[in-house]
């Protein structure tokens, strides 16, 4: 009673104690989606980087991607239906509207996965009951898996491929080995950097990385925060490291080596290093830097292979301006989208090769079927160096998880590229220096009063607000600032960059005051 749930990019998330009925109902939705598409659908029970007492559920579509936006209103309506009778009525109306055959003549299959949260078992049972309430539908329990693993399994199943966890490990490890075999003679990372120390966020990613390690010769990985003692996402994980920019638990001043951090369900990845033993402040290598590394490598291979393919780099307005400038200087095509993985993924699919990452470390690379077919067909016709470049691109397409962002596959690709180029983490991190930035949120009475265009970089309503923002931006060297309405609460978010931290803070505060004047806000706070 009194709870209103909304299906977003991360599905439904809430305190685990109130989610059983919601998960049951999403089980119904997943079975109907399978009937409608005549494909395997995925259901993942996780709350990613949220605290351990939370949980959530999200649907994986036949492509392995997120649930189509067309079905999100139905998800909202059945999750919030106050009585069984209203739930039944909503289901019957939706089945009729979608033309779903509801007579048991067609089978429906849903793959179920969960992370390591204690609440996962009971919610899994609720999902199974929801699925089995639809005639002809069956649930397949894939066990404790990372979110990207489940999405990979759904994609593989619908392509008619093997889709067990061992198949996932084999595809990642063999593709990684292939990239190492194709490294030019003479490339070698300094011996001191051979070891990689990984923060597993006390989550499922540490367990799966341990399993993956067994098939990886020559990659020295030490995993900490494995969940045997610590608490999931508490002072650990990619979200914590990226936001706080300090060492996670179980890391200390002696850890001046190359380090990486996964998030709770292993769909985000960031790297970091400790510049000195006298400070816990880290040098963060975030999603923007990972995107840059991937883009540099792929561009080099595409020049070699001789095919005039379109390579697109997809970012949101939150990407650090220094990364965007660096990528432009390399001659790369950059596209901006509104905030949200669904927009990034959709735009990336328009290119022969589309790369997207958010600063939080979530992202992937998409390869068009046409481009992959060309690479495979031309393999025997290409010269020696061109052939190697084509083989590298094919290996990347198999190593990277094209369904969703995947910290494990991303980590292996980062490692392979660093070895290929002979780069240390310091060399990689030094490609460009991030511009100082500040984010604020301003409480407002009605966030819908703000309307944006150009991938949320220009506010067209209320009238006059963008002109006032532009006047402030002009006062600061390297100044950039935008406002956008939150998707979940009555606040307007402010993002500002400038040449110094003091200037970025000042610009953000000035624009927050402008938002206050135009929108009748109540207060502002840092985020």
Residues with a catalytic annotation lie at 48
Q: What's 75-130 look like in SS3?
A: HHHHHCCCCHHHHHHHHHHHHHHHCCCCCCCCCEEEEEEECCCCCHHHHHHHHHHH
Query: Ramachandran region of residue 409, left (φ > 0), alpha (ψ -120 to 50) or beta?
Result: alpha
Query: Is 359 marked within a binding site?
Result: yes
Residue 492 neighbours by CB under 8 Å, 6+ apart: 441, 442, 444, 447, 450, 483, 484, 485, 486, 515, 519, 521
**Torsions phi, psi for 213 (to 5 deg):** -55, -35
- Count of beta carbons in the 10 Å neighbourhood of residue 380: 7
Query: Is 83 marked within a binding site?
Result: no
Query: Is 106 marked within a binding site?
Result: no
Between CA 288 and CA 268 the distance in angstroms is 12
Contact 494, 442 (CB under 8 A): yes
Cα distances (Å, whole numbers) of residue 478 to 437, 475, 493, 496, 503: 11, 9, 20, 10, 10
| Radius of gyration of the chain from its Cα atoms, rounded to whole angstroms | 23
Query: Is 325 marked within a binding site?
Result: no
Query: Is 300 marked within a binding site?
Result: no
What are 29's two structure tokens? 């939705």
Query: Is 363 marked within a binding site?
Result: no
Query: Is 462 marked within a binding site?
Result: no
Query: Is 267 marked within a binding site?
Result: yes
Query: Is 358 marked within a binding site?
Result: yes
Reduced to 3 DSSP states, what percent helix, strand and coil does the chain have, rounded to the nearest 5?
40, 20, 35
Secondary structure of residue 141 in the 3-state scheme? strand
Residues flagged as binding site for Mg(2+) = 48, 263, 265, 267
Residue set of the binding site for substrate = 358-360, 484-488, 493
Query: Residues forming the annotated binding site?
Result: 48, 263, 265, 267, 358-360, 484-488, 493
């Amino acid at each position: 009673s009194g709870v209103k749930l909304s299906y977003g990019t991360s599905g439904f998330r809430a305190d685990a104690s109130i989610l059983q009925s919601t998960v049951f109902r999403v089980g119904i939705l997943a079975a109907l989606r399978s009937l409608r598409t005549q494909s395997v659908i995925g259901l993942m029970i996780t709350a990613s980087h949220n605290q351990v007492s939370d949980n959530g559920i999200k649907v994986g579509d036949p492509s392995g991607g997120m649930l189509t936006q067309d079905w999100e209103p139905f998800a909202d309506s059945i999750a919030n239906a106050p009585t069984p009778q209203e739930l039944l009525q909503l289901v019957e109306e939706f089945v009729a509207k979608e033309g779903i055959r509801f007579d048991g003549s067609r089978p429906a299959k849903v793959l179920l996965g969960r992370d390591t949260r204690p609440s996962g078992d009971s919610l899994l049972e609720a999902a199974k009951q929801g699925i089995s309430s639809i005639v002809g539908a069956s649930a397949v329990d894939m066990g404790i898996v990372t979110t990207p693993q489940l999405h990979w399994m759904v994609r593989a199943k619908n392509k008619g491929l093997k889709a067990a966890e061992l198949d996932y490990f084999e595809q990642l490890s063999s593709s990684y080995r292939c990239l190492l075999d194709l490294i030019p003679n003479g490339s070698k990372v300094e011996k001191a950097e051979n070891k990689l120390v990984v923060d597993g966020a006390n989550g499922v990613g540490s367990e799966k990385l341990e399993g993956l390690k067994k098939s990886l010769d020559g990659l020295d990985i030490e995993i900490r925060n494995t969940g045997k003692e610590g608490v999931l996402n508490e002072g650990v994980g990619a979200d914590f490291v990226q936001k706080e920019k300090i060492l996670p638990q179980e890391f200390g001043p002696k850890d001046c080596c190359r380090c990486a951090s996964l998030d709770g369900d292993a769909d985000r990845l960031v790297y970091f290093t400790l510049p000195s033993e006298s400070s816990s402040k880290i040098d963060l290598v975030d999603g923007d830097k990972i995107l840059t590394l991937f883009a540099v490598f792929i561009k080099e291979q595409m020049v070699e292979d001789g095919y005039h393919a379109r390579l697109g780099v997809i970012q949101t307005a939150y990407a650090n301006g220094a990364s965007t400038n660096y990528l432009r200087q390399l001659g790369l095509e950059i596209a901006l989208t509104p905030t949200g993985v669904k927009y990034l993924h959709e735009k990336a699919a328009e290119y022969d090769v589309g790369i997207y990452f958010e600063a939080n470390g979530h992202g992937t690379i998409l390869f068009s079927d046409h481009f992959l077919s060309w690479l495979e067909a031309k393999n025997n016709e290409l010269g020696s160096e061109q052939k190697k470049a084509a083989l590298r691109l094919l290996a990347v397409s198999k190593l990277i998880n094209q369904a969703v962002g995947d910290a494990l596959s991303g980590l292996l690709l980062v490692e392979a590229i660093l070895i290929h180029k002979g780069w240390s983490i310091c060399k990689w991190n030094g490609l460009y220096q991030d511009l100082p930035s500040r984010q604020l949120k301003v409480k407002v009475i009605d966030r819908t009063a703000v309307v944006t265009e150009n991938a949320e970089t220009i506010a067209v309503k209320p009238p006059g607000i963008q002109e006032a923002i532009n006047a402030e931006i002009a006062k600061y060297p390297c100044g950039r600032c935008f406002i956008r309405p939150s998707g979940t609460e009555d606040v307007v978010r402010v993002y500002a960059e400038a040449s110094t931290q003091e200037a970025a803070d000042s610009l953000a505060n000035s624009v927050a005051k402008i938002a206050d004047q135009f929108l009748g806000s109540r207060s502002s706070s840092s985020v």
